[in-house]
Structures are given as C-alpha cells and as structure tokens.
Structure 1
Amino acid sequence: MTLRAEYAFDLPVAPKEAFAWLSDPARDPEWQSACVDTRLLNGAARPGCRYEITFQLIGKKMTFTVEITEFEPGRRSRFHVVDGPFGYTGTYDYTERADGTTGVHWTFDVEPGDFFGIMPKSLLKKVLVSQVKKDSGKLAERLAQPAHHRS
C-alpha cells in the first residue's frame, strides 16, 4: 500500500536558491532535523546521482540509498529509494511568486510495509507532514536572514 503525504510552503528566496537548498542531498542535514547524515556516492547532485541518507525518526534509525531521477533547477526535483528498509519517492515542485519568492509543493509517496509495525498509516502521514512543516519553517527563517548569516 502506498501512502501519499504532501505539504505546500513558501521560501523567501528565488526558485533557483530554494532548489539549491532542497535538491542537494549534501545539504539535507543542515535543514532536516530527522536527517542524521548524507553521503554522495557518485558525484554532485544531478539526474542519476545516488546518495546514502540516514534518518532518525519515530525512534528508528533508517539508512537508504536514493537516486535523483529529476533535477530541473528552479522547477522540479524528484528522487526515489533504490535500497533501504522501505520504498519512497519524493518530489519538490517550485513556483516563482510575483514577489520573487518561491512556493514549494512537496509530495512523498511511501510504501512502509511492516517497518513501522502496527502504527496506523494515518499517524505516519501526520508525522511526515509535521516534520516537513517544522523543517521548512526553520529553513524559511534561515533563508530570511542576510546571505552572510545563512551558511
């Protein structure tokens, strides 16, 4: 069974800068609180790039090998699991707002199988959306700072 979680949020930067933050796996630990570590396996982020990512979520540590399948700067990024405890596909779609900021639509299709035990799928979806809501809010606050304070 596939579960879809989605959330829309705004970032106070142009789409190319939003894309640079959200679509580079090496930056995930900087803004995703559940992300423990990432390691690029075959070069910089681009279509076909694979990376290893480790999360700590709901008391479980999980490591996945993920491949970037779409990488259109300022427009769209998409990735999917090639190896891990369960499968997922994630997408970020970017829209430039009239004021130059970026609207981001995040979707996450996950096939958790029995990994989370008897946890209801509706609770898992709520946890995923809550995490992205919190992390994207912190990233928006960070990006609202002058550029020399962001790094």
Structure 2
Amino acid sequence: MAVNVLTEIVIARPVELVARYVGDPSNAPEWYANIESVEWQTPPPVALGSRMDFVAHFLGRRLAYTYEIVEFEPLRRLVMRTAQGPFPMETSYEWSAEGADSTRMSLRNRGEPSGFAGLAAPVMAAAMRRANQKDLNRLREILETTSRR
C-alpha cells in the first residue's frame, strides 16, 4: 500500500525567505523533530542531482537514507527522492505567495513501503501526517519569530 501524505501551512514571511530556508537541507534538523543530521555528499547549494545523507528517527526506529534532488525550481518547488534506505520515498516542497508577505507551503511525502512496512502503511501515514504538521508549525515559529532569517 502506498503512502501519500500532504500537509500545508501559511507562514507570514515572503516566498523568497521561506523557500531559501526550507530549500537548504542543512536547515532540516532545526525544524524537523525527527531529523538528527544531514551531510552533503555533493557540494552545496542545492541543484539537480545534489545528494545528502539524512539520519532520522521515526516510529522508534533509526533511519539512514540518501536523498537526491530530482526536481528544483527555485522559489517554487523542490523534490527529493531516496537513492537508498529503508523504502523508496519522495519528499516535495512547494511554495506560493499567499497575499503580499505570506507563503503557502506544502510538504508531501510519498512512498511504496514493502514487507512489514507495507502492511503498516496506514499507521505510518497517520504518524507522518502528525509529525509533518508539528514540523511545519515549528518551521512557522522559527521563521515568523526569528529576525535572523
């Protein structure tokens, strides 16, 4: 069974600021509760083909996987896919203006877990949805209350 989780939020900051911050995977451990670390395999900044190693904790398990940037439209869309790891996963971000100084951001996680993970897909999707909403709320808090961004 496939997992396809879409979460959205409006952040009271311009698209350029939100997309620049979120589009830099080095910032992920700051706003994603479950991401412990990100290490670049290719030199930054983000470009098509960029690869990064992520270490995360999800549903009580440590996960290590490599994401590769497969789509990148600056200030509009970023899509990463696992090149290796526990199951094929795609994470995408989209940003659009919401009024003069706000951004609507969507975060989508899609994947095809197999084996036991495939059987647990509905539970996994619900847990992802909750975690993503918390992470987007944390992102909004960081970007709306921190002047250094």
- What TM-score, normalized to structure 2? 0.92
Contact 1:31 1:139 (C-alpha < 8 Å) held by counterparts? yes
Residue in 1 aligned with 2:36? 36
- The 8 Å contact of residues 112 and 118 in structure 2, kept in 1 or not, is answered as no
Structure 2 distance, partners of 1:102, 1:127, is: 25
The code of the aligned residue for 2:17 comes to E
Indicate conservation of the 8 Å contact 1:15/1:74, yes or no: yes
CA contact (8 A) 1:36 1:55 kept: yes
Is the Cα–Cα contact under 8 Å of residues 86 and 115 in structure 1 kept in the other structure?
no
- Structure 2: give runs of 5+ residues left out of the alignment: none
CA RMSD of aligned residues (A): 1.5
> TM-score if structure 1 supplies the norm length?
0.91
Secondary structure of the 2:145 match is coil
Counterpart of 2:25?
25
2:10–2:98 Cα contact (<8 Å) kept: no
Over 3 Å counting, the alpha-carbon distance change for 1:30 and 1:110 in structure 2 is same
Instruction: Name the amino acid aligned to 1:31.
Output: W
Q: Percent same amino acid among aligned pairs? A: 22
Structure 2 Cα separation of the partners of residues 60 and 46 of structure 1: 30
Aligned length: 148
SS at match of 1:38: strand
User: Match of 1:75?
Assistant: 76
